[in-house]
Amino acid sequence: MLKKISFALGHMLFSVLIIFLCLALFLNISTLISLNKIKQGGIAQTGYASAIVSSGSMYPTLAVNDFVVIKGHSFYNNGDVITLVTEHGDLLTHRITTVLPEGYITQGDANNIPDDIVRPQQIMGRVILSLPGIGFLINALTTPIGILFVLSVPACILLIRYLIAKA
């Protein structure tokens, strides 16, 4: 009975890990494709991307280390929270406050001053999902120790399953 429970638990944990890694790979590739389109002067109107909030400019809506999923659209409205690529190539997530014929005026919820005009070509997309604090975990997993951890977890699961099967 213990073997069956531990086998099922190990299988479930291994499956969740594989799904998480596939989703992370998908979002990373989508983000790179969107960034590449924008840097070449195109518009990232479709597809998904992701980012990690690195400043408190959108507090309390978004906090530092929140993980956001972004979906490209062909138009945006007042109040939409968007992620854009700045002139320096950095990602910035702010709210649209004004729609103009030539672009958008954005501002962080915690900021007193609006940003410069954002051209449609700079926009990656609208934030459709926010996972509070998950960015800290993702940043931690991209360090050498984090990568070692990610690689060792499946190895440990397989080893434990093997040892239990032999017992």
Query: What pLDDT sits at residue 14?
Result: 74
For the chain, give the mean pLDDT: 83
pLDDT digits (tens, 9 = 90+) for 54-111: 999 999 999 999 999 889 888 899 999 999 988 888 889 999 999 999 999 999 999 9
The DSSP result for the chain, as a single string, is -HHHHHHHHHHHHHHHHHHHHHHHHHHHHHHHHHHHHHHTT----SSEEEEE--SSTTTTTS-TT-EEEEE--S---TT-EEEEE-TTS-EEEEEEEEEETTEEEEE-TT-SSPPPEEPGGGEEEEEEEEETTHHHHHHHHTSHHHHHHHHHHHHHHHHHHHHHHH-
The hierarchical CATH code for the domain 2-166 is 2.10.109.10
Q: Check: pTM over 0.75? Answer yes or no.
A: no
